[in-house]
Amino acid sequence: MLEEKVAIITGGTRGIGYETVKIFLENKAKVILFGSKEETVTESINKLKELGLTAKGYHPNLTDYKEVETTVKEIINEYGKIDILINNAGISANKKIEDTTTEDFKKIMDINVLGIFNMIKAVTPYMKKQQNGVILNTSSMVSIYGQPSGVGYPASKFAVNGLTKSLARELAPYNIRVNAVAPGIINTDMVSSLPKEMIEPLIKTIPLGRIGTPTDIANAFLFLSSNLASYITGVILSVDGCARS
Residues assigned a catalytic role: 153
Torsion (CA) 114, 228, 78, 121 in degrees, nearest 10: -20
Let me know if 196 is exposed, middle or buried by CB neighbors in 10 A (0-12, 13-18, 19+): exposed
Neighbours of 208 (CB within 10 A): 11
Structural contact between residues 226 and 3, judged by C-beta atoms closer than 8 angstroms: no
Is residue 57 within 8 Å of 51, Cβ to Cβ? no
Q: Distance between CA 33 and CA 10 in Å, rounded?
A: 6
- Judge whether 85 and 136 are in contact, CB under 8 Å: yes
Helix axes 214-225 and 15-26, enclosed angle (nearest 10): 50
